[in-house]
Structure 1
Amino acid sequence: MIAFLYMAAFGTLLYFLTVYFQSVHGYGAMRTGLAFLVPMLAIAAGSQAAGRLATRHGLRPVLLGSLAIGAAIVAIVAVANSGLPAAPSPGAVIDGLQAAIAIAVAGIALTALVALRLRRPR
């Protein structure tokens, strides 16, 4: 359920950021796409790091840590009350890293759970 809610929030964020960049800041399609480039590179890096982190520290600490970082970023943006950034910011990069790690580790955990249940005798 947590993975579903997380993905629902993260998936809609990309849509609303696109609308925000184009409607509020007047970005065209190309500039909007370029605004997503840095956070998407962070997501790629986080996906690569997720397996290593989960192996070294365990699934639960890595998943909970990445979700805590995501919650902190949301709180900081809400408290700052400055709206969303008009260009990639360090917060967007950190959010991209933590999102990729959370998604990858959740996938690893679900795969391990399915494998465990398939091995149990019925």
Structure 2
Amino acid sequence: MSEIRSQATPARDELVRILAGAVLDNPGGIGTLPQHAAERIIADGWLKPRTVNSATELDALPVNSVVVDASDTPRTKRYGDSHMGAGWTNAGRSPLSSRELADGRPMRVLFTPEDVG
């Protein structure tokens, strides 16, 4: 599916289309429908959001990773090493360390440099 179409089609509608297709072409009968539907959803590119829950997990992400913090603010890892800790920026504001950013609530990982390519 093209990126433009996926942005224009609400996620719910897209999932309904995938699930309807799974019901129609399920080769194993009703007993295998959940597994077949899950395979179709994953094959179409749907993934469970990745999360991190601690400063240690934030530190382990590579530089240029992007997370959404507990207040729904996107943060980009701009630097990080074992001596300085990690610096997470938000639109040019002063960076926060991983320890300052982590507050025990899960943060969604939107992007890591490994996602490219």
Same fold, TM-score > 0.5, yes or no = no
More strand by share: 2
Higher relative contact order (CA 8 A, sep 6+): 1
TM-score normalized with structure 1 length: 0.27
